[in-house]
Amino acid sequence: MYAHVYCMCFVMCNVMKGNSPLKPLFNWVGLSDDIDIYALAFQECKPSSKEGPETKEEAEMETEIETEMEQVQSPYQNATQTETETDTESERKRQEKEINKQNWSNQRQIEAILSTHLGQNYAKIANFNMWQTRLFVFVKKKHEERISSVTMHYQATGVGGVAKNKGGVAISFHFDGVSMCFVCSHLAAHFSKVQHRNDDYKQLCKGLQVGLPKRQLLSQFHHLFWLGDLNYRVDWQPHKDKPIQHKDDCELEVFEAFQSHVNEHNLDSLLRDDQLITSMSQSKAFIGFQEPVIKFKPTFKVERNSDLNYNVCFTLLFLIYFFHFFNG
């Protein structure tokens, strides 16, 4: 049978600071009875903390979160301090446990809002997160019995290959015998870090162990969907005979030329110098993936509360990417 899959990635860029409500943002998620599977990815999404006294319901949820964490988090987080453990190590573990607890609470909050938005005809297959990189997969309830072999994993690619501010998470499963995998990733930032982003991609392909752990990520699934904030910039040159060495802070003349092309919706000229498209054409990353045609304007870096007014201090990029890889 055929399944209609809906994929969407939210790159929040800390818009959740303050009292910004989370729920209205999900109105962007299209609703249709024709969709069988929803895969929703998030980057830098941290719901606002609630002020005021804790309610009975919130206290009960916190207890549930503590119990869930004990079942899935690293064993050392619940261990008592050993004789050789220093006060610094003990404090580090306490802080890490608090961070994980908050992330788990945020994950539960987002899941609840998504479930309400999608409606009672959809059920969660799985959700997984690494810090603020989050992935949720829902399926129509009438298809629940068709789902099997659900696996999840994460791979950090930040500083030292262990910092979780960069990296990715993956969820895989079988749908009527058809294997599917969804990856949500956040790659290295800054204009000059193209090779770093390509290396992050390779590290994720090697380190994400879902499905059959001994088999490579790219070779075992019928369908692999990759979403996220990949951070590839547009290395656009206004004058090909006078190449400019771009930086994160671009010259005003270059920025105005960028802005002119965007205003005229002349995206093809910008995409010709898109770092990701170049990396793909040179077989340096995302080999074999297919990307839908980009018809939207660059989404970074936009000033808040404006109609796509770009911040002159940053070069432009098409921030949200979605790829599909089909293994025949």
d(Cα 284, Cα 287) in Å, to the nearest integer? 7
d(Cα 296, Cα 237) in Å, to the nearest integer? 20
Tens of pLDDT, residue by residue over 190-238, are 888 999 999 999 999 999 999 998 899 999 999 999 998 898 888 776 6
> What are the residues whose beta carbons fall under 8 Å from the beta carbon of 181, sequence distance 6 or more?
170, 171, 172, 210, 211, 217, 221, 223, 224, 225
The amino acid occupying position 74 is S
- Per the model's pLDDT, the better-predicted residue between 18 and 145 turns out to be 145
Q: How far apart are the first and last CA of the chain?
A: 15
What percentage of the chain exceeds 70 in pLDDT?
Answer: 63
Per residue, the 3-state secondary structure of 269-319, as one string, reads: HHHCCEHHHHHHHCCCCCCCCECCCCCCCCCECECCCCCCCECCCCCCECC
Residue with tokens 């979403």: 227
**Strand order across the beta sheet in which 122-130 lies:** 5-11, 37-43, 133-140, 122-130
Predicted confidence (pLDDT) at residue 51 exceeds the cutoff of 50: no
Tens of pLDDT, residue by residue over 254-266, are 777 777 888 888 8
What would the mean pLDDT of 11-32 be, rounded to a whole number? 62
The amino acid occupying position 314 is F
What would the mean pLDDT of 96-100 be, rounded to a whole number? 65
Which of 265, 285, 266 shows the shortest CA–CA distance to 275? 285
